[in-house]
Copies of this chain bind each other. A is one copy, B any other.
Amino acid sequence: MIKVQIKDAERFLDQKVSTLQGRVEDVHDMIRNKSGLGNDFLGWLDLPVSINQEELARIKKLKEQYKDLDCLVVIGIGGSYLGAKAGLEFLKTPFKKSKPEIIFAGHHLSANYLKHLLKYLNKKNYAINVISKSGTTTEPAVAFRLLKQHIEEKYGIDEARRRIFATTDKARGSLYQLAKNEGYERFVIEDTVGGRFSVLTSVGLLPFVFAGIDVDGLLNGAKDAYMDAQTPDLKKNQAYLYAATRYLLSQSGKDVEYLVNYEPRLTFFAEWWKQLFGESEGKNHLGLLVASASFTTDLHSLGQQIQDGKRIIFETVLNVKKTDKLTIPWDQNNLDQLNYIADKEISYVNEQAMLGTKEAHVDGLVPNIVITIGKLDSYHFGYLVYFFEIACAMSAYLLGVNPFDQPGVEAYKKNMFRLLGKK
Contact = CB atoms under 8 A, between A and B. Distances in A.
Contacts of A95: 116-117, 119-120
Interface in A315-356: 323-326, 328-329, 331, 333, 335-338, 340-341, 344-347, 349-350, 352-353, 355-356
Nearest to A333: B178
Given A78-B300, A296-B109, A360 B411 contact: yes
Q: Chain A interface: which size bin?
A: 35 or more
A65 interface: no
A416 B323 contact: no
B265 A112 contact: yes
A197 to B, nearest CB: 13
Contact of A108 (B114, B286, B296): B296
Contacts of A357: 412, 415-416
A235 interface: no
A143 to B, nearest CB: 9
A191 B121 CA distance: 48
A304 interface: yes
A301 B323 contact: no
Contacts of A294: 108
Contact of A278 (B116, B305, B407): B305
A23 to B, nearest CB: 22
B418 A264 contact: no
Given A309-B282, A356-B419, A112 B301 contact: no
Interface string A289-325: 1110011110111111111111111000000000111
Contacts of A411: 307, 360-361, 363-364
Nearest to A357: B412
A308 B107 CA distance: 22
Given A301-B82, A305-B278, A346 B114 contact: yes
Contacts of A281: 305, 309
A111 B347 contact: yes
A412 B360 contact: yes
A290 to B, nearest CB: 7
Give the 4 A-B CB pairs with smallest separation, nearest first. Answer: A282-B305, A78-B300, A356-B415, A282-B309
Given A77-B297, A356-B418, 15 more contacts: A109-B349, A115-B326, A144-B336, A145-B331, A178-B336, A271-B301, A274-B301, A275-B300, A281-B305, A282-B309, A286-B309, A307-B408, A307-B412, A356-B416, A360-B415
Interface of A: 77-79, 81-82, 93-96, 107-117, 119-120, 135-136, 138-139, 141-142, 144-146, 149, 174-175, 177-178, 195-196, 255-256, 262-265, 271, 274-275, 278-279, 281-291, 294-297, 299-313, 323-326, 328-329, 331, 333, 335-338, 340-341, 344-347, 349-350, 352-353, 355-357, 359-361, 363-364, 376, 406-409, 411-423
